[in-house]
């Protein structure tokens, strides 16, 4: 992704499905949706759009805690939307997941699954003309096409990730 540059780390949440912590984690939304039993890669991503213009994106592979990536995301000359960091996090996860492996992507923003569905859905309206963040959207479409060709399913699921 040409609009991304490496950045620093962030605090991590450790999911432990053993002992007393198992009771907590099996009651979460992700567990109830079957995320911990998914036979493929389970990733979660998020983006942030700060008031002072900084845009960041990141994802983590929930089974391989060391497999994570964060980036600062630049603005696109054509224009960008508040969904740009979410798209960038999704693209990072797509790049970090083998194209032959099924992928479950968890996000906290309904705009991402809506935008992806609009871009890859059927019908005459699936176009990038006038779409904000067309650069990232095009890369995501190309990665999804590779995964589809390889026979790997990709699921985007919106989960509640914040208490507010």
pLDDT given for residue 2 in this prediction: 44
CB atoms within 10 A of CB 9: 8
pLDDT given for residue 121 in this prediction: 67
pLDDT given for residue 58 in this prediction: 82
Distance CA 141, CA 9 (A): 28
- Domains of the chain, residue spans: 4-20+42-158
Distance CA 27, CA 41 (A): 20
CATH class of 4-20+42-158: alpha beta
**Cα angle: 5, vertex 35, 115; to 5 degrees:** 50
DSSP 35: G
- CA trace torsion 86, 90, 93, 97 (10° rounding): 170
> Which parts of the chain sit beneath pLDDT 50?
1-8, 77-78, 164
pLDDT given for residue 78 in this prediction: 46
């Amino acid at each position: 992704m040409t609009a991304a540059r490496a950045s620093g780390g962030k605090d991590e949440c450790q999911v432990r499905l053993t002992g007393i912590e198992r009771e907590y984690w099996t009651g979460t939304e992700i567990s109830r949706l079957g995320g911990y039993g998914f036979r493929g890669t389970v990733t979660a991503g998020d983006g942030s759009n700060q008031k002072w213009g900084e845009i960041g994106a990141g994802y983590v592979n929930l089974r391989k805690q060391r497999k994570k990536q964060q980036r600062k995301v630049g603005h696109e000359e054509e224009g960008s939307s508040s969904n740009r960091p979410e798209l960038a996090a999704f693209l990072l996860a797509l790049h970090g997941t083998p194209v032959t492996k099924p992928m479950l992507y968890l996000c906290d923003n309904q705009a991402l699954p809506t935008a992806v569905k609009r871009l890859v859905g059927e019908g005459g309206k699936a176009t990038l003309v006038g779409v904000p963040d067309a650069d990232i959207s095009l890369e995501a479409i190309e990665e999804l096409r590779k995964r589809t060709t390889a026979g790997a399913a990709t699921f985007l699921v919106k989960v509640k990730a914040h208490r507010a």
